[in-house]
Structure 1
Amino acid sequence: MTDANEGSDVSRRDYIKAAGAGTIGVTGLAGCMGGGGEGESTTTTDSGSDETTESMDDGEETTTEESSNYETLEVQHWWTGGDGAAAVEALFEGFAEAYPDIEVNQNPVSGGAGQNLETVIKKRVLNNNPPSSWQAWPGANLQPYVAADKLEDIGDSVWSQNGMKDAYLEGPKEAARPGGNFVTVPLNIHRINNLFYNVSVVEDAGVDPASIETPGDLVSAMETVESETDAVGMAHQTSSAWSTTQLWATVLLGENDVETYNSFAEGNVADNEEAVKSSLQTVVDYTEHVNDDAGSVSWTEANQKILNGEAAFFHQGDWAAGMYRGQDGFEFEDDWGHVPFPGTEGVYALNMDSFPFPTNNPSPEATTKFLQYVGSVDAQERFNPKKGSIPPRTDVPSDAFGPFLTRQMDDFQNSDSQVQSIEHGLAIAPDPKSNISDAMASFISNWNVDNTYQQLTQAFN
C-alpha cells in the first residue's frame, strides 16, 4: 500500500492560489469561507424518476432505471497502481453490474499521495466545474468546501438508503458531516493506532507485546529487545515529518484519553500543555531506539526492517500490513503480529477515503446512484479486501478479508470510540493542520519539546 500514507495538507493558502486560475476571485472565496457562498445547488433527486426495484442477495435494494438518460459519471481518484488500482477496479465493476446504463469516466490523477488530485479538484470546484465526485479524505479536510457552499446535503438522497445510517458507527458518520449535514460517503477505513512487530524478534527478547500497557512501557520493551537481540527497538522514518506526526498523535491518545486527544484537535493546546509536552518527550525517547538510517529511508524501507528481522516494532497505519501479506512465507501471528498501540485499547483511530457530492454537479442523478452504491454492502465487500482496509459498514461479511483484517473489523465494531486522524486532516482543518506539519518538521530536525510545543500552541491561531 503506497497511496494513503503521507498527509495531503489542504490549506486556505492553497485555496487562494487556486482561485487565481478560477472564475471565483480571492475576495469572493474569502466570503464563502466566512459562511456565505456562490453557486446555488443544481442537485436533482431521483424522487420523480420512473424506476423499478430489485432485491440484491444481501438484502439491500438497487434500482434498474427504465430510462438510460444519465449524464456521464466522472469520478477522479488517485488509485492508479498497486492495491488501490485493483480495489477501485473491483468497485467500478460492481457499479457497472448494478447500473449498466450509467457511463463512467474514471479520470485518475496520480502522484503526491493525493496532493496532485487535491490541486486539480480545488481549481475545478472554484471554477464551478467539479467532477461528479472524487476521492477525498473526509472530516475537517472538507470544511473549506462546506464553508464555501460547494458540497450538497445528501442525508435524504443517499444516507437514507441501504440502511447506511444504522450500519455506520458514529465516528465515520461524524467524518461524513463536517458541517452538520451529510456531504460525503466513506468507503473504507485504515486504522492509525497500530503497533506491528516481528514475532521472532520479540520472542527472542522475551517481550510480550500484548503486555505493554502504556506508550512509556514501550520504551522499556525496546530497551529489552536491544539488550537481548541484534534488532533495533523500533523501525521509523524521519525523512519526512508525517510518520512522526502520526506517531506523536497516537502517543498523545495512548498516554491520555479520547477527550484529551479531541480537545487538542479542537485547538485547546494550552489547556493540555502537560499532555502535549509529555507525549512529545515520549517520542524523543523512542528516537533513542530507532534505526540509524531513519533520516534517509521511506516508510516502506523502514517497514522492510520488520520483514528482515532488523527491528522489533513498527508504528504505522494498517496499510503497512500489505507488505507483510504480500511477502511469501511471512504469515500473520507466526511471523508478524499486531496489537493496538499501547494505551489505546478500545479506540479505533480512523483514516478514510470517501466520495463527496459537489454543487454544480454535472451528473446529479448518476452521482446519487454512485454514492448510494459506495455506501452499500456490495461495494465495500468488493473494494476493501483488495485495498487492505476494512469497511465502515458494520454488516459487511468478513469471509473475504483474511485473519488480520477480520480482527481489525472486530476491533472496530467493538470499539468504545472512533477518533479522527490528526495527520490526515480528518480531525483538524487544513490551515491548522498545515501549521502542525510545519511544527513537526522542525521537531524531527531538533527534537526540542519546548519549541515544538510553542509552535503547536500557535498552530490554531
Structure 2
Amino acid sequence: MKILHLIASAICMLSLELKAEELEVIHWWTSGGEVKSVNSLKKMFISSGHTWKDSKIIGGGGENANKALMQRISSGDSPGVVQLKSASIPHWGSMGALQEVNRTAVNQKWDNILPTEVSRGLKYKGSYVSVPLNVHRINWIWMNAAVMNKINAKAPSSFKELFETLEAIKSKTKVLPIAHGGQSWQDATLFEQVLLAIAGIDTYRGMFIDLDATVAKSAKVLKVFRVIRKLTTFMADDRKGLDWDKATKQVIEGRAAMQFMGDWAKGEFLSAGLQPGRDFICWVTPGLEGFIYTIDAFAFFKTKENKSKQAQSQLAQLIMTKEFQREFNKRKGSIPARTDVLLNGFDNCAKQSAKDFSRTANKGLLAPSFAHGNAQPSDIQGALIEVISLFMSSSMPPEMGRDRLISVLEEFE
C-alpha cells in the first residue's frame, strides 16, 4: 500500500498545475473483500490530489446500478465514472454519453500491454472509453477444505465424481452440500459454468454470442438442464434472495461445503483470514476445457462542462500502473488485466487462473461471461436469465426449460 501512495504522490507532483476535481464513481462493490479492494484505489486517487465521491449501489450484480445510471443520464446529470460491463458500451456510446481517454491509453501503450480479448471490450468505435481493473474467472468451485477432508473427498474431476461427493456430504454430514443464492444472476452464473463444462465452447458461443436457437436444440443442452436440476437438489430450499457473499460465508464457516462462483468469492475467503490449499480449495468446474471471464472496468462519462476530464484521465492512469494492478487484484481475488505484471506474491489459485487464461486464449477457448454482461446487452441478457432463473426456482421439467430458452433465442435471431 505504501508503494501505491508513493506512485500516486509522484503522479500528483507531475500534475501540480492541474486543478483538483471531484470525481463521482458509481459501483456495486459492497461486500467485505470488494470494499477493501476498491478502498485501495480510492486512497490512491485521493493521494493524487482529487476528490473521490463514492456512489455505491447495492444488489443485482450491477442491474440496480445500470437503472440508476439510466436515470442520471436521462436527467442530464451524468456521473464521471461507472463500473460497466463491455456489452453495455455500444449502447452508451451510441447515445454520445461516453468520454474517451485515448491520450492516456497511448501514453501508457494500452494496446501493447492488454490482451486483445480485453482491449476490444474497452473501446467504442476504436477509442478507449473504459479502463480494466482485472480479469475474473467465472468457472470456479470453492470448497471448504475441512468439510472435504471429513469425508475424505478430493476435488472432483468430472460431474460423476462431483455428484458422488455431494451425495457423501448429504449422507455423512449435517453440512449443506451447495451454497447458492437464489438470485437471477447467480442462477445464470451456475448455468453458464455447466453449459461450458458439458456442451463445450462452440455450443456456449452459439447460444450466448451468436444467439443461435438451433444450437440449443441439441441433446447436450438438454443434459445441461438435467444436471442443473440435479444440482438444485443439493441446495437450500429457502435460498431465494440470498446474496452471493452470504452464500460464500456459509462455505467459509463450514455450514456449506462448496459454491459455484467467480473468483471474487476468493476475496471473501482471504478477507476472513483463510488460506487457499489449507482452509479452502479452488477447483475449476470439471468438464470440457474453457475459461469464462468477466472484466471489472470503469467507463468514463461526459459530465457537465467536462468538469471531470482531468480527474478521469488521472484515474485511468493510476488504474493501469503495474503496482495498482498487483495490489488490487491480490485483494479482489482476480488477476491483473495487464499481461506484464509479475505474479510474485499471488496465491496458487490466481497463478492457475493466469496460466489458464493464457493457454485458453491461445487455443481459442475464451468465453465472455453471458451472466455478467460481457456477451449481450442487458435486454437480451435479461430475457435469457429470466428463463434460467425460473427453471431453477421451480419444478419445471428440463425439457420445458430448454424449450423456453429456445423460444427466447428465436426471438432475438
- The CA deviation at 1:66 is 5.8
Identity of aligned residues (%): 23
The answer (yes or no) to whether the contact 1:394–1:413 under 8 Å persists in 2 is no
Which amino acid is the alignment partner of residue 440 of structure 1? I
1:242-257 map, 5 Å? 242-257=185-200
Cα–Cα, structure 1 residues 153 and 263, in superposed 2: closer, same or farther, change >3 Å?
farther
Q: Where does residue 236 of structure 1 map in the other structure?
A: 179
Q: Does 1:446 pair with 2:395?
A: yes
Q: Where does residue 313 of structure 2 map in the other structure?
A: 368
Cα–Cα, structure 1 residues 289 and 78, in superposed 2: closer, same or farther, change >3 Å?
closer
1:50-449 map, 5 Å? 64-65=14-15, 67-69=17-19, 71-79=21-29, 82-97=32-47, 99-100=48-49, 103-113=50-60, 114-136=62-84, 138-154=85-101, 156-177=102-123, 181-209=127-155, 212-213=157-158, 215-226=159-170, 229-230=172-173, 234-237=177-180, 239-266=182-209, 267-274=211-218, 275-295=220-240, 297-327=242-272, 330-343=274-287, 345=289, 347-359=290-302, 361-416=306-361, 417-443=365-391, 444-449=393-398
- SS at structure 2 position matched to 1:122: helix
TM-score (norm 2): 0.83
Query: Structure 1 regions of 5+ residues with no counterpart?
Result: 1-55
Supply the distance in 2 between the matched residues of 1:295 and 1:96 (Cα, whole angstroms).
39
The answer (yes or no) to whether the contact 1:78–1:110 under 8 Å persists in 2 is yes
Of 192-201 and 170-179, more deviation after overlay is shown by: 170-179
TM-score (norm 1): 0.75
The answer (yes or no) to whether the contact 2:267–2:331 under 8 Å persists in 1 is no
- SS at structure 2 position matched to 1:212: coil
Supply the distance in 2 between the matched residues of 1:451 and 1:186 (Cα, whole angstroms).
39
Q: Does 1:455 pair with 2:404?
A: yes
Name the structure with the higher helix share: 2
Kindly provide the CA deviation profile for residues 123-175 of structure 1, in whole angstroms up to 9, marking residues without a partner as x: 22234432222222x22133321232322444x32332323222222332232
- The CA deviation at 1:231 is 5.3
Cα–Cα, structure 1 residues 193 and 218, in superposed 2: closer, same or farther, change >3 Å?
same
Kindly provide the CA deviation profile for residues 171-216 of structure 1, in whole angstroms up to 9, marking residues without a partner as x: 322322366643211112332100122334334444332x513x45
- SS at structure 1 position matched to 2:92: helix
Supply the distance in 1 between the matched residues of 2:212 and 2:198 (Cα, whole angstroms).
17
- SS at structure 1 position matched to 2:224: helix
Q: Where does residue 31 of structure 1 map in the other structure?
A: none
Query: Structure 2 regions of 5+ residues with no counterpart?
Result: 1-5
Cα–Cα, structure 1 residues 203 and 152, in superposed 2: closer, same or farther, change >3 Å?
same
RMSD: 3.2
Cα–Cα, structure 1 residues 297 and 133, in superposed 2: closer, same or farther, change >3 Å?
closer
- The CA deviation at 1:122 is 1.5
Would you say how many aligned residue pairs link Structure 1 and Structure 2? 395
